[in-house]
């Protein structure tokens, strides 16, 4: 305590000395203490009388509040005396102000550098532990196994099969017992080495007894090997070593391979494989032993494929049943985890889905090649859809792939189920009707069950495509195939009405158009024996496209609207190309004294185009432009073709004048409609028509026609042109914008 007080007093003296040196004031010599600094007094103030010496007090009095600054200040000598008196008191005063470095507590000296013997030796000790414990221990266990083999060779004649087997078992059990006794006093790895060697010896004893000594065979030999593997699993669980458990599980999977399966069917063998896989899945869930689960999946798959490779398939039903159970058993942990709301990683469900898909693809190929059970797709797909419906409320990540693959299998199964039926042999039409009906039923069921299976459009699209393929595979259209088009269009209609994704609705539209066009007529000319079906094909295909446009407007789907408009535009372009090529291919086939095939087709197509145009929303400018242009082109070409048929027998030159007059009339009608409806696109189309007629009259008609016909052509052209100019002049004069 005294030392601490002296340190603080010295610090105070040093601080006072520094302040006095800065103010150029003398240091008081009394008591070894310094004088307190004070500001210089004004020269005009009188000196104060000297104050008497203050007596020493046993305890320091409380410091009074500092007085208000006054105009007078004591002399420096008086302040020095007060400072000496305060420094000579017994009780120390608290230090006011920033603490000096000398007043801080003493710091610990820096640690001395370690010597070579004191440096950490973690790496060296780890390497030494690895070599001394793991390497030497494992080499020692291997040496014991080798010694046992040599001992068996030496005692081959003396001990006999039973003695040799018993001795190996005793050696293995001795190592296990030694590890159990030494476990509290040795490292864990040493115990693992002893137990691993003992388990290997017992496993080797069972293999020797079965394979070489032929003491046991069949089920008893397999039980001996499985018992050794079970002992290894128990010991691995005691030590919590995943590698030990994985090796023991590999021995369990190798047991039936070494012993063999006497059963002609793989039932018992697959039950054993699934049991081992279930144990591996339980260890993964309980102790996170992922390596054991991976080994179980691979070993089960390889051994199952190996069984069928060596033994062959028993029957189609047996193959399907065993492979289905095996595939579902391998995916059961993920399915159960999804069912109880446990987290299933994306990679896990993807691998499970791929595994199930691979198994079903193998079954599908095998059953299709042997043609023994064509209903496999319906059965397998139905089971997958049922599993998807169960998992949908709990795990969409598993339900989605199962539902999609199940819907695909069901669609294929609905088609394949009627291909190998004996009582339908030779009845192609009956087979086609049954296939189309089954495909339509499957598509309807998939769309109706979307609430539970979450997805159904993929299978419905596939079913629609297969139904269209059934219609088209029959070759040239016939009476029965044309009636089947109605059934084939059921699925596309359902997709257009009920499908939620826009892509599925577009697929339904395209399938419906393909079925109606190619299913009704495949003759691309207006003349011929089968040409009367061409207008029906135009009208039916246009009706499907118009229905798609209506659905697109109702559902506000631009992709579906674009597809419908593209189909209608393609139909219009096809009709124009066929109409222009009609004179070279022959006249149009008549339907009535005043009608023919071409005129009937243009009426049906124009009806569809106008319906699509008026059902398309006004904000869809591109779609309305395409439909309007197609409508005008079909109207112009349709009227022109009928005019050419009428004037085919007129004298030369009159046909040119007639076509020019028809073109002028059509352009004038467009101009009038544009003014009437205030549509600038119609007016521009009419103006372009006038310019085309002017070019035709000036280049072609005036050079080939006779003078009377030239007068007629130019006179009518002038009248029409003046009429158009009068319309624009009246529009300008009425105050409208030009």
**Apex 50 CA angle, 49 and 54, nearest 5:** 140
Rounded to whole angstroms, what are the CA distances from 271 to 266, 267, 304, 330?
Answer: 8, 6, 11, 12
User: CA end-to-end span of the chain, whole Å?
Assistant: 112
For the beta carbon of residue 589, count every other beta carbon within 10 angstroms: 17
Radius of gyration in angstroms for the set of CA atoms belonging to the chain, rounded to a whole number: 52
pLDDT digits (tens, 9 = 90+) for 193-245: 888 888 888 888 888 788 777 777 778 888 888 899 999 999 988 888 888 88
What percentage of the chain carries pLDDT values higher than 90?
Answer: 9
Which of these, 655, 521, 531, lies nearest to 596 by C-alpha position? Answer: 531
Query: What confidence tier does 96 reach under pLDDT thresholds 50, 70, 90?
Result: very low
Burial level of 39, CB count in 10 A (0-12/13-18/19+)? exposed
pLDDT digits (tens, 9 = 90+) for 601-611: 888 888 888 88
Token pair listed for 573: 């372009």
| pTM: predicted TM-score of the whole model, two decimal places | 0.55
As a whole number of angstroms, the distance between CA 685 and CA 630 comes to 13
Query: What confidence tier does 684 reach under pLDDT thresholds 50, 70, 90?
Result: confident
Which of the residue ranges 66-75, 271-280, 538-547, 636-645 would you say has the lowest mean pLDDT? 66-75
pLDDT above 60 for 445: yes
Contact 383, 324 (CB under 8 A): yes
Phi, psi of 525, rounded to the nearest 5 degrees: -160, 155
Rounded to whole angstroms, what are the CA distances from 383 to 48, 69, 360, 402, 561?
Answer: 116, 102, 11, 9, 37
As a whole number of angstroms, the distance between CA 435 and CA 473 comes to 12
Q: Which region holds residue 454: left if phi is over 0, alpha if psi is between -120 and 50, else beta?
A: left
Please state the rounded mean pLDDT for residues 457-482: 86
Find which of 20-34, 290-304, 355-369 is predicted with most confidence, using mean pLDDT: 290-304
As a whole number of angstroms, the distance between CA 499 and CA 117 comes to 80
As a whole number of angstroms, the distance between CA 612 and CA 600 comes to 19
Rounded to whole angstroms, what are the CA distances from 406 to 175, 327, 354?
Answer: 54, 14, 13
């Amino acid at each position: 305590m005294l030392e601490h007080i002296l340190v603080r007093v010295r610090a105070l003296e040093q601080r006072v000395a520094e302040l006095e040196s800065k103010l150029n004031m003398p240091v008081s010599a009394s008591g070894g203490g310094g004088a307190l600094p004070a500001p210089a007094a004004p020269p005009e103030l009188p000196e104060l009388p000297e104050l008497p010496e203050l007596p020493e007090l046993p305890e320091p009095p409380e410091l009074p509040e500092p007085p208000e600054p006054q105009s007078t200040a004591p002399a420096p000598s008086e302040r020095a005396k007060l400072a000496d008196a305060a420094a000579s008191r017994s009780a120390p005063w608290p230090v006011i102000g920033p603490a000096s470095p000398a007043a801080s507590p003493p710091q610990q000296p820096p640690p001395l550098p370690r010597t070579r013997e004191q440096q950490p030796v973690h790496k060296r000790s780890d390497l030494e532990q690895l070599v001394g414990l793991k390497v030497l221990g494992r080499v020692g266990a291997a040496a014991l196994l080798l010694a046992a083999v040599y001992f068996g060779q030496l005692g081959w004649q003396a001990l006999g099969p039973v003695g040799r087997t018993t001795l190996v078992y005793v050696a293995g059990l001795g190592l296990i017992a030694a590890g159990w006794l030494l476990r509290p006093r040795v490292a864990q790895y040493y115990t693992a080495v002893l137990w691993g060697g003992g388990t290997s010896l017992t496993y080797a004893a069972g293999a020797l007894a079965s394979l070489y000594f032929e003491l046991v065979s069949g089920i008893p030999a397999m039980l001996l090997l499985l018992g050794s593997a079970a002992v290894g699993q128990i010991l691995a669980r005691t030590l919590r070593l995943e590698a030990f458990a994985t090796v023991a599980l590999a021995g369990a999977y190798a047991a039936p391979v070494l012993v063999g399966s006497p059963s002609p069917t793989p039932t018992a063998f697959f039950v054993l494989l699934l049991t081992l896989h279930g144990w591996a899945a339980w260890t993964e869930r309980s102790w996170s032993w992922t390596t054991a689960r991976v080994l179980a999946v691979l070993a089960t798959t390889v051994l199952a494929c190996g069984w069928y490779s060596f033994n062959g398939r028993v029957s189609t039903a047996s193959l399907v049943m065993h492979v289905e159970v095996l595939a579902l058993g391998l995916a059961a942990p993920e399915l159960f985890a999804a069912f109880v709301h446990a987290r299933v990683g994306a990679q896990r469900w993807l691998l499970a889905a791929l595994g199930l898909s691979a198994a079903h693809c193998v079954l599908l190929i095998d059953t299709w090649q042997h043609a023994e059970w064509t209903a496999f797709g319906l059965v397998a797909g139905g089971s997958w859809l049922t599993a998807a419906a169960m998992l949908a409320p709990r795990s969409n990540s598993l339900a989605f792939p199962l539902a999609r693959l199940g819907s695909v299998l069901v669609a294929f199964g609905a088609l394949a189920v009627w291909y190998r039926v004996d009582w339908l042999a030779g009845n192609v039409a009956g087979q086609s009707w049954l296939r189309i009906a089954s495909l339509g039923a499957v598509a309807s069921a998939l769309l109706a069950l979307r609430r539970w299976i979450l997805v159904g459009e993929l299978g419905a699209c596939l079913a629609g495509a297969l139904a269209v393929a059934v219609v088209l595979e029959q070759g040239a259209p016939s009476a029965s195939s044309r009636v089947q088009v109605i059934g084939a269009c059921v699925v596309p209609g359902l997709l257009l009405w009920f499908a939620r994704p826009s892509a599925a609705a577009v697929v339904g539209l395209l399938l419906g158009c393909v079925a109606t066009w190619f299913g009704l007529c495949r003759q691309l000319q207006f003349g011929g024996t089968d040409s009367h079906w061409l207008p029906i094909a135009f009208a039916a295909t246009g009706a499907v496209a118009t229905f798609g446009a209506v659905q697109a407007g109702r559902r506000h789907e631009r992709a579906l609207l674009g597809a419908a408009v593209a189909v209608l535009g393609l139909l219009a372009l096809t009709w124009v190309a066929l109409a222009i090529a009609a004179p070279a291919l022959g006249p149009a086939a008549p339907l009535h004294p005043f009608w023919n095939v071409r005129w009937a087709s243009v009426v049906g197509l124009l009806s569809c185009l106008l319906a699509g145009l008026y059902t398309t929303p006004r904000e869809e400018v591109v779609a309305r432009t395409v439909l309007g242009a197609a409508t005008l082109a079909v109207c112009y070409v349709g009227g022109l073709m009928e005019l050419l048929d009428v004037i085919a027998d007129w004298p030369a030159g009159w046909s040119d004048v007639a076509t020019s007059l028809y073109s002028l009339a059509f352009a004038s009608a467009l101009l009038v409609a544009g003014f009437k409806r205030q549509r600038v696109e119609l007016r521009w189309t009419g103006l372009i028509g006038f310019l085309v007629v002017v070019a035709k009259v000036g280049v072609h008609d005036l050079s080939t026609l006779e003078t009377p016909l030239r007068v007629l052509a130019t006179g009518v052209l002038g009248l029409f042109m003046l009429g158009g100019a009068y319309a624009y002049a009246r529009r300008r004069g009425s105050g409208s914008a030009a």
